[in-house]
Amino acid sequence: MSSTPASLVLFGIAVAAYTLAVVAFVLHLAFRKRVLGDIGMALVLVGWPLHFASIFTRALEAGHWPLGNMYEYSTGIAFVVVTLSVILMLRARMRLIGLPAMIVTVALMGVAYMLYVPPGQLVPALHSYWLTIHVTSMATSSAVLSFSFFFGMAYLARRWADNRLLAVAPAAVAASVSSGGVATMTMGGGGGSGGGFSSGGARRPVAAWVQRALPRAGMLDGWSYRFVMIGFPIWTFGVICGAIWGEHAWGRYWGWDPKETFAFITWVIFAIYLHARVTYGWKEKRAAIITVFGFAAILFTLYAVNLWIAGLHSYARA
């Protein structure tokens, strides 16, 4: 009976540390205790070197750059996500970015475990130095662009909270005037004044909690934009390298293989984001919505195309 590879043991310990970090960050978000955020960050800092050691030992066990199949690719993307979150938590003091980052990391590593294959040789098509250049670029850009989605969703949450509290304040004034015996119009637009106020009042604690938990909306929108500005050129570089590798391996630069097609679709989505933002001033809400489509396209390109759509890149599943 063969023993469990060291890389998989380290992988499991790292996942355990990240999972506990998710719990700590959730508690930090709920109770706003700094020590809980510090515990979450400490758990991430424990898991990060173990995660790196898992990837490094996997490379030694397999004898090649550890991005040759879906298990290796998923854990590689997760590692970049963790690395970026550590930088943000330490340099920008963003404890809360650890929550979405660790949720996505645990999900990616969970999928990686389900797609696990023992260390082995690469298929002939992957015996190229372009594996290191192209696949590393795509994995890195996937992780970087994911942060544009994280900050975009945080922006939408903060925007909702700000608008909710602004809407509740006039309703409260209207209700107080109405209680003095003066007929007034309310936010609800009909019926009694209490109906519109009670509905807004029920949501006010949640909105106030979100407003306290998250930075201002403009800052979140700016961070989302920064990560698109970083990730988009890397994705572009990865696609170009893939085309060059395709010419070496298959005799053509582009053949509209499913993987190529959806990588291009993802590129178009983020190109639209940048073009609309710079040219037409599409910021904040509209920009955040585009990052949702971009993140969905990244996941579809990563998993759906490789696992369920037959193509020249189907070897990546094993």
Q: Is the dihedral of CA 83, 84, 87, 89 positive or negative?
A: negative
Tokens read off for 132:
């290191």
Query: What pLDDT, on the 0 to 100 scale, is given for residue 315?
Result: 53
Domain ranges in the chain are 1-122, 123-159+203-318, 160-202
Q: Is the dihedral of CA 236, 240, 256, 315 positive or negative?
A: negative
Using alpha carbons, select from 1, 138, 2 the residue that is nearest to residue 72. Answer: 138
CA 106 to chain centre: 12
- Phi, psi at residue 295, to the nearest 5°? -65, -40
d(CA 150, CA 100): 7
Helix spans in the chain (H): 6-31, 34-62, 70-91, 98-114, 130, 136-179, 193-213, 217-250, 258-280, 284-299, 305-308
CB 209 within 8 A of CB 160: no
User: What's the one-letter identity of residue 211?
Assistant: Q
CA distances for 292 relative to 93, 143, 193, 223, 252, angstroms? 25, 14, 37, 15, 32
CB 123 within 8 A of CB 315: yes
Query: What pLDDT, on the 0 to 100 scale, is given for residue 202?
Result: 54
Determine how many CB atoms are found less than 10 A away from the CB of residue 312.
Answer: 15
d(CA 287, CA 148): 10
First vs last C-alpha separation in the chain: 22
> Phi/psi zone of residue 117: left (φ > 0), alpha (ψ -120 to 50 degrees), beta?
beta
Per residue of the chain (318 residues), give pLDDT as tens: 468 899 999 999 999 999 999 999 999 988 888 899 999 999 999 999 999 999 999 999 999 899 888 999 999 999 999 999 999 999 988 888 999 999 999 999 999 999 999 988 877 767 788 889 999 999 999 999 999 999 999 999 999 999 998 887 665 545 555 555 443 323 333 333 344 444 455 568 888 888 888 999 999 999 999 999 999 999 999 999 999 988 887 888 888 888 899 999 999 999 999 999 999 888 889 999 999 999 999 999 988 888 877 655 555 555
